[in-house]
Structure 1
Amino acid sequence: MHRETIASLLTLSLAGEEPISIVELPLPPSIVDDSVGACTGNNNPRGTGCIKIVLTGDDSLPQGGTFTPDGTALVATVNYTGAPAEPHPASIYTGVQTILIKTDGSTFPNGDPWKCITCGVPASNQVGTDRKLQDYPRVFKDGKRFLVGTNIIHTGGHRVDSDLVTPNNTFIYPIYWPVTADGSGPTGAMRELRLHPDDTHLSWSSFAGSDQNGFYGRLTFNPAPTTGEPRAPRYDLTHVNLIRPKNGKKILSVNKKHELKLDFSTMEIGELRGFSGSGNELVYIGYPWEACNFDAFAVNIRNGKVRRLTAHPEYVDPVDISADDKWSVVLDTRGSDRNMFLSGMRGIPPISDLVTSSVCASVRNNGYRRFFQPILIDQYGDRGDYFGQQINAAGNGSNGAFNDPNWNARADPQFSLDGTRVMYYQTLVKTPACGGANPLPCPVSNAPDGRTTRIMVATFTNRTPYPAPKFKLGPDTIPWATPYTPGMTIPSRTELTPGNYTYKGQYCGEAHVYITTSPTSSSPTTRVRVDFANLSDDGESTLNGYEDITLTQASGSWVVRNDWYSDIIQEGKVNGRKKTGPGGFHITMDVTQNYFNATGELITVLDGVEYRQPENFT
């Protein structure tokens, strides 16, 4: 019954499903041994390098990126290992590098279906670059440059997949974001950089204290900088915007009557995820519209209009939108039941999220194991009983199958420019997310060379390729966002002050909300209690009961604890109950590790179907 209900949550009208074929792309030979010279002619007769297999912990490389404009190849980041010592010709195949992989079954002139772009680039051609961070690789729409990490790679004015591209005519330039008033010093810290379709603007994230903030700015090549570091050719970021409404509006606020109000016309970014296919919108994971239910949203760059892209109660994060803006591909835990015990009950206003957001967003992982699978969603988003189509649903679930649940998708999926294909890449669960004390046994990889990472391309076989659209130039100034001035202090996000509040349902009923804090404790706590009285925001179901949750988190710490007591009864279109055990539910989570560690019990029952919390460390 439980699985039948999940299938119903993922209902796809058969007429709406489309046929999909999937292939795994070839990668350089893989080895476990990372000693000098371990990559021998037996591993790779052509001497074009071996990549490292990670047997324990994180193996986020190889990492797939975007397709070339014509779709015949895609960019990826790999970690080469075992190269012989210099002056051997193969010694250049070492460390984290950017490669191209053919997607059409052809090969490069050396006979390999891959080609390393950054291997052997002279030091004089990459002054001031940070090569440690080479994530989220992207090909510019001009087909002659890459964005990789915090660097931009030029391929000598040639197409990136041209035979004319060599190490000597390849240049790697750092990206510089001035964050001091006089323009001095190194670049500001940037992560998760995304390229606008106009090849001219970027979005990125940066931390200020414990807040993650989104930014947008213009890229300008500076051949001879006179301020900042490095004083070498680089790309400067100018006309920077802080992606926060300049009017200061928040989704959850309080009026003079001590009434809580929800305003879904405004936006609050949790994590910026880049741009829509046309570049007209910024895409982000935002403050929930329903308790504990994190979703993807898009906000129009020019007018600030917000739309919700996903609404399934499971957790969503990476997202890409096709160039014609008609389709999204998201990575989501839907179908895994991972978050259903927390977020399965719909229509609860996002008030307890003031203290639960860290836990609700972190349960999606078990350490380096992620429960994501790629989901295709049309331009209108999740609605009613439509929750998209799992791209890799076909298969028998066996070891190594396309739908093997032990292979989990990683960020970011990418559409081809013609809309007919999607790249996603996956990693295989491994210790300590399985085996040993973990109840989940570790699978044995049957991928080539025993690899634990694979790059997949899904083709929508009934689709006709469309011509690559012409992209509009993005604005330098976002009218509704907050202008960023180098040296400015990023204001902390304001929180509701302790007190007693009332929240009135959109259709009927109300909730009484009590917020208390104990700031003098060595580990400050915030407590939110919500008492529901025939509350309905959707006009279809009503809520009664209560939720009482305390957050304990030391200042500057990434370790959070929630002490959770719930008994919410839902009646109407859905009949359910969200209830903790006699002693409550208590969870401690290091949000940098995401290992599930809880005592007590929290169970959500919806129309007779029960969703329980995972076992610890699974």
Structure 2
Amino acid sequence: MRSLLLAATCIGSAAVGGFLPPSPEPITVTRLRLPPVALNTDNGSCTPEINPRRTGCVSKTSDLHSGHYLRDGVHLLAIANFTGAPVEPDPASIYQGQQLILIKTDNTTFPNGDSWKCITCGVSSENSQGRGLAMDYPQAFVDGKRALAGTNVVECSDGLASEACGPDSVRIIPLRWNTATNNSGPGGSMRELRLHPDNHHIGFNSIHVTSNGIAQSAFFGRLRYDPSPKWGQPPAPRYDVINVSLLYNEEQSHRIIVSPDDPSHLIIQPGALAVGELRGFGGTGKEVTWLGAPVESCNIDVFASDITTGKVRRLTSHPEYVDPVDLSPDDKWSVVLDTRGAGRQMFIAGLRGIPPLIDLVAVSAVSSVRNNGKRRFFQPWLIDQYGDRDHYYGQQVNAEGSGIPGSGSINDPEWNARADPRWSWDGTRIAYTQIITEEPACGGVNPLPCYNSTEDGGRNERIMIAHLTSHYGMNVLVGSESVSRENPTPFVEVLHWYSDLTQTGPNNGTKITSPDGFHLSIDIDLNFFEANGTLTTTVAGKEYHQPANYT
């Protein structure tokens, strides 16, 4: 295992104070349609009356978590806990337990009429040997055929969004991080896995026990598929996490040190860095994001480090608590889930500029104050690339609405966000999950009243899509193209062309050759066009075909 060094240059709010705050963005927030809600958790409570298509139900609170968009920009990954399924051999019995689902985000439906489909329901034990139990933080690979979910890669050879993708074509493949000198055993424990945009690397965290209690370290490694492992557990096809680096630098990790000149004095090192928890990567893959030791006392912030140079910048500096973060595909924006606006942390973090001295013993407790049981007080905030500065602390994504508790409006304070918010690949939309306050965080002896959900079926969870209507989408190009050339004579060129490209964004379209390719022969002196096969380019719905052969 290696250590990935982080440079001790931390850019704070003062360094970017010269950049004016951006104008507020026009944002529209909508809800996604989700699986129907079962009457209760009993077998068979997901009745045909509730779901006539017999494709499953969820409970009112089903541990719902939204994830990445697929590259097509239409489908969103999510995790849902199905309940109320009938018992075997009823075909609907497969819709039970925690599963990976795919949700339409454009108001269309799948062929069966549902706005969602379950990807992992009914996958056989043979196709899921050694799978990890956790199915969290679902993230899409660029190929559209794979998703990272917990410590598993979910793969469908036909494509996750394909109509042909069913239980028989889905595999759930475990990940393993070797930490044993003899390569034995199940490997190290990984949590909060994040897929790097190159689709070959991941970041993750691992908790371990020390003499001072529980500690956590962050790591960066490469995925390598092994179809038939010769060592370690599980002895099934798996992805090994190799070339693992520790995100740590011993020389630059101590915020407070004893003065070498006077042992009775302590020295605060503002530039010292200590990665506490990895949170993800920038949209371009150049940076890794993480929670670190406080720069100001009781102030929990997120930072970003350049993976190549180690240079660090501070993304947030508001005294409230921030944790989940996602950088836009072009790295020019971030969306964070933060308690800012709630006042939850202000009693301990509101006074600025206090050196982080008490944090040596208080930081874990201070971090935990952000929650009231399962209630998180998180709301999504949009921040530009220069981060919090001066009096700019971003823009609340879901600020519009009545704001009346219990109203179900998009800014209802009783609805709070769950990790992680996610950008669409074109940078025009943000997906996030919310849950309404529930007992015992409200009701009973708690002075905070509980409110009934106004969502369909009385569900206590919902997935929201924020549309940044003034953002122009980035063009996302997926696929492959190759051309080889022959020269039968100096002036005659023969090209063998194979193309399968799909572009989503403002210039939506495809560039596709026929199954056997496109084969062009042309005399560059006479310009006689002769071709076999087809090469068709489609832009904004209009097809462009090759010219006819010279006659």
Under a length normalisation based on structure 1, what TM-score does the superposition of the two structures give? 0.72
Over aligned residues, Cα RMSD in angstroms?
A: 1.7
Aligned residue in 1 for 2:169: 169
CA contact (8 A) 1:323 1:468 kept: no
State the AA in 2 paired with 1:338: R
Q: After superposition, where does 1:358-377 map in structure 2 within 5 Å?
A: 358-377=364-383
Q: After superposition, where does 1:7-406 map in structure 2 within 5 Å?
A: 16-54=23-61, 61-130=63-132, 132-156=133-157, 158-209=158-209, 210-247=214-251, 249-257=253-261, 258=263, 259-398=265-404, 399-406=407-414
Structure 1 residue 350, shift from structure 2 partner: 0.8
- Helix, strand or coil at the partner of 1:341: helix
- Helix, strand or coil at the partner of 1:408: strand
Aligned residue in 2 for 1:462: 470
Structure 1 residue 263, shift from structure 2 partner: 3.2
CA contact (8 A) 1:271 1:286 kept: yes
- Helix, strand or coil at the partner of 2:251: coil
CA contact (8 A) 2:423 2:430 kept: yes
- Greater alpha carbon shift after TM alignment, 353-362 vs 364-373: 353-362
What is the total number of aligned residue pairs between the two structures?
453
Measure the CA separation in 2 of the matches of 1:318 and 1:337. Answer: 18
Deviations 1:243-266 (Å, cap 9, x if unpaired)? 111535322223302343333434
Deviations 1:379-430 (Å, cap 9, x if unpaired)? 0000001000000000111310000000000100000010000001001100
- Helix, strand or coil at the partner of 2:93: helix
Deviations 1:128-150 (Å, cap 9, x if unpaired)? 102x3101011112211000011
Measure the CA separation in 2 of the matches of 1:222 and 1:275. Answer: 25
State the AA in 1 paired with 2:97: G
State the AA in 1 paired with 2:363: S
Measure the CA separation in 1 of the matches of 2:22 and 2:277. Answer: 34
State the AA in 2 paired with 1:23: T
Measure the CA separation in 2 of the matches of 1:381 and 1:127. Answer: 44
Deviations 1:459-491 (Å, cap 9, x if unpaired)? 001111012389xxxxxxxxxxxxxxxxxxxxx
Deviations 1:253-304 (Å, cap 9, x if unpaired)? 2330234333343421222101111111110111111010110101111111
Measure the CA separation in 2 of the matches of 1:28 and 1:314. Answer: 34
Q: Looking at CA atoms only, which structure, 1 or 2, has the larger radius of gyration? A: 2
Deviations 1:54-97 (Å, cap 9, x if unpaired)? 3xxxx5x2110010112101000001111111111111111111
Structure 1 residue 358, shift from structure 2 partner: 1.6
Aligned residue in 2 for 1:613: none
State the AA in 2 paired with 1:53: K
Deviations 1:340-383 (Å, cap 9, x if unpaired)? 11100111111111121122111110000011000000000000
Measure the CA separation in 1 of the matches of 2:49 and 2:137. Answer: 32
Aligned residue in 2 for 1:554: none
State the AA in 1 paired with 2:242: T
- Helix, strand or coil at the partner of 1:310: coil
- Contiguous gaps of at least 5 residues in structure 2: 1-18, 479-551
Aligned residue in 1 for 2:548: none
Under a length normalisation based on structure 2, what TM-score does the superposition of the two structures give? 0.80
- Helix, strand or coil at the partner of 1:247: helix
CA contact (8 A) 2:21 2:392 kept: no
CA contact (8 A) 1:370 1:408 kept: yes
Measure the CA separation in 1 of the matches of 2:365 and 2:22. Answer: 38
Q: Does 1:417 align with 2:421?
A: no
- Helix, strand or coil at the partner of 1:90: helix
- Decide whether aligned partners of structure 1 residues 13 and 457 sit closer, same or farther in structure 2, where only a CA change above 3 A counts: farther
Deviations 1:583-616 (Å, cap 9, x if unpaired)? xxxxxxxxxxxxxxxxxxxxxxxxxxxxxxxxxx
- Helix, strand or coil at the partner of 1:360: helix
Measure the CA separation in 2 of the matches of 1:204 and 1:15. Answer: 33
Deviations 1:155-174 (Å, cap 9, x if unpaired)? 11x32211121211111100
Measure the CA separation in 2 of the matches of 1:152 and 1:289. Answer: 37
- Greater alpha carbon shift after TM alignment, 366-375 vs 252-261: 252-261
CA contact (8 A) 1:410 1:427 kept: yes
Q: After superposition, where does 1:424-439 map in structure 2 within 5 Å?
A: 424-439=432-447
- Greater alpha carbon shift after TM alignment, 340-349 vs 351-360: 351-360
State the AA in 1 paired with 2:140: V
Measure the CA separation in 1 of the matches of 2:178 and 2:443. Answer: 47
Aligned residue in 2 for 1:407: 415
State the AA in 1 paired with 2:397: I
Measure the CA separation in 2 of the matches of 1:367 and 1:13. Answer: 38
CA contact (8 A) 2:39 2:46 kept: no
- Decide whether aligned partners of structure 1 residues 15 and 170 sit closer, same or farther in structure 2, where only a CA change above 3 A counts: closer
CA contact (8 A) 1:323 1:469 kept: no
